[in-house]
Amino acid sequence: MCCPPLTAIQQVAWENETGFLPPLRTRITNIEQYDVIFVGFPTWDMQLPPPMKSFLKQYNLSGKTIVPFNTNAVYGIGSSFDTVKALVPRSTVLEGFSVRGGIERDGVLFVMEGNKEKQVKTEVKAWLKRLDLLISK
């Protein structure tokens, strides 16, 4: 990038506007051995984060089952689940799960705990059961 340092929000907006895909620092060398791949991410600027776009474009996920899940602060998933589907057209994308997670307001982080944590655990179990992916002990 050629310009003065950007805030994180400005960086995400620039990446989304220009289609920039940041290079990934790690590599999964044996991804072909997996049939089901869970893809988790936060919502950034109402979209799939650019690093996740990089991930989905970097790997050949044809024939895989993709299970998206998301955390967001207020606005929901935006276009992120649709973008996942568009980036893996030869994969089966199952119903995604989204939860409003920890948010920061005025420098105070609100985390998921107590009753909200219990509620989300119940929701995740129900979601996995609907997808026939719940592994019980």
Interval 21-33 mean pLDDT: 93
Q: What is the pLDDT of residues 68-89, one digit of tens each?
A: 999 887 778 899 999 999 999 9
d(CA 135, CA 42): 24
Answer whether residue 135 is part of any domain.
no
Answer whether residue 107 is part of any domain.
no
Question: What is the number of structural domains in the chain?
Answer: 1
CA 106 to chain CA centroid, nearest Å: 25
Q: What is the pLDDT of residues 99-137, one digit of tens each?
A: 887 666 556 555 666 787 888 899 999 999 999 998 876
Q: What is the pLDDT of residue 69?
A: 96
Answer whether residue 136 is part of any domain.
no
Q: What is the pLDDT of residues 31-70, one digit of tens each?
A: 999 999 999 998 888 899 999 999 999 999 999 999 999 9
Q: How many CA atoms lie within 13 A of 36 on its CB side?
A: 9
Answer whether residue 14 is part of any domain.
yes
Res. 26: pLDDT tops 90: yes
Answer whether residue 39 is part of any domain.
yes
Answer whether residue 115 is part of any domain.
no
Answer whether residue 112 is part of any domain.
no
Assign 1 a pLDDT band (cuts: 50, 70, 90): very low
Residue where the block lists tokens 């791949």: 37
Q: What is the pLDDT of residue 137?
A: 60
The pTM of this model reads 0.84
CATH number at residue 24: 3.40.50.360
Parent domain of 84: 8-101
Answer whether residue 37 is part of any domain.
yes
